[in-house]
């Protein structure tokens, strides 16, 4: 059974069909890339799965359960987390607190928080916070106010927040956009680590083809809301329809 399965997922905005019957199944422990030109519907697809948008029709199955139309927090609690395309952080909280809150979110449900108990005394939360901040190399910046981080660091903080939710499936919407080549390299390393060490399943939307071909197990090509190909990187490289629709014949 696949970890995530969408069936005929459709999202319309008024007359515009942004996601047009997407059926995609994602296997546990793989990195699934979604590529496609701007406006192809990649972000909308992610939003329909993660609960930010309600799909117009179709269904989403996660671990065999129907999660279509659930609220974002319910979907996160089931093990799907996402890093936003634009860093969505808590600007006036410290870097550590940004991650801490996600770590508390991950604990949610396993016990009730105590109003009168200091948050420093939740050891599992502190431990997760430190581990995630170290994995994105922001541990030394933990006391800085998040809004004062440089843009690339904000994106990495965004990833750390998504990771601290301890997901099984992680959506990453253009994680390297706005990063320097060095930061991009680190992020790619991070993605590979996450998959290999934690067995995390990752859905990656990305424009950087070098990144895509390096980390992906499978690449889906989205064109005007529909998937026109979904195959291993070598096959995508050779697919003429893809070349035409998206890659514009460019060498890759």
Partner 1 sequence: MSTEAEEGGTVGGIDISDSVLIAGNAVALFLLPWVLIDVFGMVGEVIDIAVGGYSGLPSLIIIYGIVVIGYNLLLGYTGMLSFGHAAFFGTGAYVAGVVSGTTGSPLVMILAGTVVATLIAWPIGWISIRRTGVYFAVITLTFGQMLYFWALGPGAWLTNGDDGFSSVQTGQLLGTFELGAPVVGGIEFLSVYTWEYLMIATLAIVALWTANRILNSPYGLIFEALGQNQQRVSFVGLDVSRYKLMAFIISAVFAGAGGALFIIHESYIHPNTAYYWIQSGDFVIMTVLGGAGSLVGPVFGAFIFEYVANVISGVSLPVIGSIGSLWRIVLGGVFVVIIWAFPKGIYPGMRDAVIWIVDRVRNRGGEQG
Binding site for partner 1 (CB under 8 A): 50, 52, 71-73, 76-77, 81-82, 84, 88-94, 97, 100-102, 104-106, 108, 113-119, 122, 125, 145, 161, 164-165
Binding-site size for ligand ADP (CB under 6 A) equals 11
CA distance 120 to 134: 18
Rounded (10°) CA dihedral 73, 77, 83, 87: 40
Region binding ligand ADP by CB under 6 A among candidate stretches 34-42, 72-80, 89-97, 144-152: 34-42
Among 62, 73, 83, which Cα is nearest to 205's?
Answer: 83
Cβ closer to ligand ADP: 38 or 121?
Answer: 38
Q: Rounded distance, CA 177 to CA 135, Å?
A: 19
Distance of CA 63 to the CA centre of its chain: 17
Quick check: 161 and 103 in contact, CB under 8 A? no
Among partner 1, Mg ion, ligand ADP, none, residue 41 binds (CB under 5-8 Å by kind):
ligand ADP
29 touches, from ligand ADP, partner 1, Mg ion, none (C-beta below 5 to 8 Å by class): none
Q: Which uninterrupted H or E stretch holds 158?
A: helix 151-164
103 or 172: whose CB is closer to ligand ADP?
A: 172
Which residue's CB is nearer to ligand ADP, number 13 or number 113?
13
7 token code pair: 């069936």
66, 59 Cβ separation under 8 angstroms:
yes
- Chain positions 34 to 73 lying near Mg ion, rule: CB under 5 A, are 43
Which value, to the nearest 10 degrees, does the dihedral of the CA atoms of residues 225, 37, 178, 250 take?
A: 150
Report what 40 binds from partner 1, Mg ion, ligand ADP, none; CB cut-off 5-8 Å by kind.
ligand ADP
Among partner 1, Mg ion, ligand ADP, none, residue 199 binds (CB under 5-8 Å by kind): none
Query: Which residues contribute to the site for Mg ion (CB under 5 A)?
Result: 43
């Amino acid at each position: 059974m696949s970890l995530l399965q969408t069936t005929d997922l459709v999202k319309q905005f008024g007359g515009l069909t942004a996601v047009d019957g997407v059926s995609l199944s994602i296997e546990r422990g793989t990195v699934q890339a979604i590529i496609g030109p701007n406006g192809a519907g990649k972000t909308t697809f992610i939003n329909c799965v993660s609960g930010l948008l309600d799909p117009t029709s179709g269904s989403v199955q996660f671990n065999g359960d129907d999660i279509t139309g659930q609220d974002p927090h319910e979907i996160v609690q089931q093990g799907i987390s996402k890093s936003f395309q634009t860093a969505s952080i808590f600007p006036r909280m410290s870097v550590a607190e940004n991650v801490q809150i996600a770590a508390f979110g991950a604990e949610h449900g396993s016990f009730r928080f105590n109003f009168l108990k200091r948050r420093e005394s939740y050891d599992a939360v502190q431990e997760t916070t430190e581990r995630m901040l170290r994995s994105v190399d922001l541990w030394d910046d933990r006391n800085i106010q998040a809004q004062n981080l440089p843009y690339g660091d904000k994106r990495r903080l965004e990833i750390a927040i998504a990771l601290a939710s301890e997901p099984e499936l992680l959506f990453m919407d253009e994680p390297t956009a706005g990063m320097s080549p060095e930061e991009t390299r680190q992020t790619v390393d991070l993605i590979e680590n996450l998959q290999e060490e934690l067995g995390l399943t990752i859905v990656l939307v990305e424009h950087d083809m070098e990144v895509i071909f390096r980390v992906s197990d499978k690449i889906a090509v989205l064109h005007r809301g529909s998937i026109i190909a979904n195959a291993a990187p070598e096959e995508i490289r050779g697919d003429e329809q893809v070349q035409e629709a998206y890659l514009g014949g460019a060498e890759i």
